[in-house]
Structure 1
């Protein structure tokens, strides 16, 4: 450890180790196969870089992203170390030159992608030289149930087989107990050398809001709180990334898109600008951010709900690495749950994998819907704890109101049962509110005893109730179909009148769809959207061989202009839009509106 402290002081410029860093470094130097779970910004890199330099031989770092390798190598080279990366960006000549340097013993630390490491050529090369250690960065990728599953990581069991005497250290900021066990099993890590350093990022303020025109919610947050700040905005789809970045640019922000569908040069250029310039906002899918070292990211915003608490924690952890105050804000809605459920159901994983994904999604939704301290719940998920509420999340700062919702919940569960447990929330809500639409009449649901018993609640209030019923396990969602709702065994005591439930209070009295008078005249500002909506309607009418008014009336198009729906849940609120038209024509009109919203 004397030599380790010398390297810490003189190579990296720190006077002492932080928290458990010293114990971890000591374990790795002594040859222990070690697991390290440490919050983002906690100094994980030093836990393998220093032992790699103290122990005899070359250190191998397995890293999932080329950009991350390049940043780390540049940083180490700036410290005067001989570091390099071996990946697909190297030409044949450059790769051969690097291999000669490796064999000659002229490299201190080598970064390798997992798919490159497992190749026979790489294994043969590394067996020719003395190795100090293997460091597996972002090790949560190893676990089949991890939130960022990557098959090449699962083949890293080659390390204990081919290099049994070279110590292995696995590092991650995000791993629940099951993921930790999976990592330790795959890499054959020592039970007495596992360090879980806590998960609390006290400088991050967690805020979660229901979607209510999320574009305006995000804009208000940026203009009122984050003027000229660097930040990340996460979206679920590549198209939404592109649209959101363009819209933010038109709102005066320097916003750049980043997703896997872009060419490598554009992604690299945008990442470089984010890392090097001030006030840049990156709008990205989850393809962006792993290992990003920019310290002064002041906010992370999610325009769609992440698929798990692991993903949420990992992504929000990119804010405030410098220890200064930062904000993580999330906007979520029922459509996120349905979309993520369908993605999990359609994944290539086996049934067990899909069940685990669904459990993770339920836990994430539970974090969104809860009324108590979010940080306590977040830490509890990772088997960490906090004795008192944090005082730095939205529920602590402004505690939500709750109400006795037992009677409403009983109505909701009864209606799910009466409709045969084979419809989604949209239709069940229509029955509860007494809607007279084609689908209700088709199944004769206007004759049910639950028809119209929920007229006193708005559609939004019912959506909130159904979300929370799913979170609390009273309802299950059939992800393989169309989000059909099914009762669970847990719902029986409520239906029998044996249990009462309190839910987050929502403004609830609204007996009809929006009844505001739509202007007869279209002002000049909205004329382009009006013309595009009519052109869309005309095209659909031609394709279907019907008059345009059969598609949607003028009044419906005008209401679309007023309320600018951006997703199916919002479009169904527009007068004249029923389930069938939503299914047949909704996406075409939503695309038109989105193009104008982000133009």
Structure 2
């Protein structure tokens, strides 16, 4: 039997009764790490899992191989646990109580998304004794990562659904939605074009969810439209596309969910569609949290997901570095930012205006305040702070607010600006890289700053150019 990287050494440590923490990418074979030792020592193992769909997959696969396995679930509260998704941590912190009951039994924690801080929390919470820790690569080279902005509504859904028949011949598709309403709307549209689809969300009864899950795993359903209640740990090798209809609330969720794709190593694609309103849901996600620190963490996590959506750099590099893994190259060659030919433009003058305005605000406000100043707003908060007296006030009227926002996010992704959370508010300040740029500028001269036109910046450039043509045409006719 041949093992994947790290599997054999983890299995051996478990047999030696060592506590261990295993952090390996989705699809890298973590399940085998705890299944094989139990067969070797011929003893029963207890597996604690957050989702029923994951339990069903594991038990079904083991039984098909003639291995005795069962699962026990708290079905009446299942939907609540599932909707918590990757934030489900409270009960897990009580697992250390089993230490007093199951003596001389090793503990194993297995995850695909633990940052260094989370790894520390896991080993502490489970009271692991000198644990053997394995951290594999988070990279999934066969996965293509792409991001697009969209406008919610039936028109976009129809466009999205039209593309699906091209994919289902080669494998399955999962469409993740942030709301049950979106799940039901997209499911209906997929069925209307003759694609056999399944639906999965927390308000469905347990039997319906189980049946939908079973048919999808057996390839009797080509598409699954679901909330985050579905998919964590799904062992289905031929999923060729994972679509996120809306930005997830953190990158841990996104990595885990997109990781259902291409588990057989064959080229597969992960597309994330976002709207600007997705980035303002921090208050909604943090509504039930009592601790200010927890609320801040939720806001920061959403902010990092926003940065991923808006970055002009390699998306694979961004994801890997989020989890603390260095990616040597600047370009992976397998994401939209690395493969799409982008237009570039010298943005030195505009960047100077925005950086200088933010510098004048001394990090006390978010991006919108500086944009309002540049566009000449005389709103009450601007007048009270006397920002209307700044020399920069009104110098950016030529561009719409959305254009300035797109430029601001581009400068954040390239490291000229840094966005941070104070309490639950997002503020922005000039980074050391941005300070160096400002220091090299004069009012009548700025060194070239050629930026790629990506995402919203490209769209706003196109829109501005079209508006200019219309204006020029009307003036010539006059």
User: TM-score, normalization: structure 2?
Assistant: 0.79
Q: 1:230 to 1:453 in 2, by over 3 A?
A: same
Q: 1:149 to 1:327 in 2, by over 3 A?
A: same
Whole-Å Cα distance in 2 between the matches of residues 516 and 279 of structure 1? Answer: 49
User: TM-score, normalization: structure 1?
Assistant: 0.64
Q: Find the counterpart in structure 2 of residue 313 from structure 1.
A: 255
Please state whether the residue corresponding to 1:269 is helix, strand or coil. helix
Please state how far the C-alpha of 1:75 moved relative to its aligned partner.
2.0
Whole-Å Cα distance in 1 between the matches of residues 207 and 258 of structure 2? Answer: 26
Q: Find the counterpart in structure 2 of residue 199 from structure 1.
A: 138
Whole-Å Cα distance in 2 between the matches of residues 225 and 78 of structure 1? Answer: 29
Please state how far the C-alpha of 1:421 moved relative to its aligned partner.
8.9
Q: Find the counterpart in structure 2 of residue 467 from structure 1.
A: 409
Residues 1-36 of structure 1 show CA distances to partners (whole Å, capped at 9, x for unaligned) of xxxxxxxxxxxxxx3222221111111001111111
Whole-Å Cα distance in 2 between the matches of residues 287 and 411 of structure 1? Answer: 45
Please state how far the C-alpha of 1:259 moved relative to its aligned partner.
1.9
Q: 1:150 to 1:441 in 2, by over 3 A?
A: closer
Structure 2 contact 175–244 (Cα < 8 Å) conserved = yes
Residues 424-469 of structure 1 show CA distances to partners (whole Å, capped at 9, x for unaligned) of 767875775579xxx9699879977656533443454333123345
Q: 1:496 to 1:378 in 2, by over 3 A?
A: closer
Instruction: Choose from 28, 53, 67 the match for 2:14.
Output: 28
Whole-Å Cα distance in 1 between the matches of residues 308 and 467 of structure 2? Answer: 30
Structure 1 contact 433–451 (Cα < 8 Å) conserved = yes
Whole-Å Cα distance in 2 between the matches of residues 18 and 404 of structure 1? Answer: 47
Please state whether the residue corresponding to 1:207 is helix, strand or coil. strand
Unpaired stretches in structure 1, ≥5 consecutive residues: 1-14, 91-112, 117-137, 518-599
Structure 1 contact 235–285 (Cα < 8 Å) conserved = yes
Whole-Å Cα distance in 2 between the matches of residues 198 and 509 of structure 1? Answer: 39
Structure 2 contact 311–409 (Cα < 8 Å) conserved = no
2:215 is the counterpart of 1:266:
no
Q: 1:67 to 1:149 in 2, by over 3 A?
A: closer
Structure 1 contact 245–283 (Cα < 8 Å) conserved = yes
Please state how far the C-alpha of 1:344 moved relative to its aligned partner.
4.4
Q: Find the counterpart in structure 2 of residue 234 from structure 1.
A: 176
2:310 is the counterpart of 1:324:
no
Instruction: Choose from 440, 443, 452 the match for 1:504.
Output: 452
**Which region of structure 1 is more displaced relative to structure 2, 261-270 or 196-205?**
261-270
Q: What do you get for the CA RMSD once the two structures are aligned?
A: 3.9
Q: 1:42 to 1:56 in 2, by over 3 A?
A: same
Please state how far the C-alpha of 1:313 moved relative to its aligned partner.
0.9
Whole-Å Cα distance in 1 between the matches of residues 263 and 407 of structure 2? Answer: 37
Please state whether the residue corresponding to 2:46 is helix, strand or coil. strand
Whole-Å Cα distance in 2 between the matches of residues 184 and 147 of structure 1? Answer: 17
Structure 2 contact 355–430 (Cα < 8 Å) conserved = no
Structure 1 contact 33–188 (Cα < 8 Å) conserved = no
Q: Find the counterpart in structure 2 of residue 53 from structure 1.
A: 39
Unpaired stretches in structure 2, ≥5 consecutive residues: 442-446, 471-478
The aligned length equals: 446
Q: Find the counterpart in structure 1 of residue 23 from structure 2.
A: 37
Residues 371-422 of structure 1 show CA distances to partners (whole Å, capped at 9, x for unaligned) of 3322223222223233333221222222544444343234345667899999
Please state how far the C-alpha of 1:38 moved relative to its aligned partner.
1.8
Residues 538-571 of structure 1 show CA distances to partners (whole Å, capped at 9, x for unaligned) of xxxxxxxxxxxxxxxxxxxxxxxxxxxxxxxxxx
Q: Find the counterpart in structure 2 of residue 211 from structure 1.
A: 150
Q: Kindly indicate whether structure 1 or structure 2 has the higher relative contact order, using CA contacts under 8 Å at least 6 residues apart.
A: 2
Q: 1:278 to 1:380 in 2, by over 3 A?
A: same
Whole-Å Cα distance in 1 between the matches of residues 133 and 362 of structure 2? Answer: 50
Whole-Å Cα distance in 2 between the matches of residues 338 and 514 of structure 1? Answer: 29
Please state how far the C-alpha of 1:228 moved relative to its aligned partner.
6.8
Q: Find the counterpart in structure 2 of residue 360 from structure 1.
A: 301
Please state whether the residue corresponding to 1:36 is helix, strand or coil. strand
Q: Find the counterpart in structure 2 of residue 80 from structure 1.
A: 66
Structure 2 contact 75–206 (Cα < 8 Å) conserved = no
2:113 is the counterpart of 1:171:
no
Structure 1 contact 457–509 (Cα < 8 Å) conserved = no
Residues 257-306 of structure 1 show CA distances to partners (whole Å, capped at 9, x for unaligned) of 32223332332232222222345222222111111112111111112112
Whole-Å Cα distance in 2 between the matches of residues 515 and 342 of structure 1? Answer: 38
Structure 1 contact 245–257 (Cα < 8 Å) conserved = yes
Structure 1 contact 234–303 (Cα < 8 Å) conserved = yes
Q: Find the counterpart in structure 1 of residue 226 from structure 2.
A: 284
Please state how far the C-alpha of 1:196 moved relative to its aligned partner.
1.5
Structure 2 contact 198–221 (Cα < 8 Å) conserved = no
2:12 is the counterpart of 1:71:
no
Alignment of 1:567-586 (within 5 A): none
Alignment of 1:318-467 (within 5 A): 318-339=260-281, 341-348=282-289, 350-388=291-329, 389-412=331-354, 432=374, 453-467=395-409
Whole-Å Cα distance in 2 between the matches of residues 223 and 431 of structure 1? Answer: 48
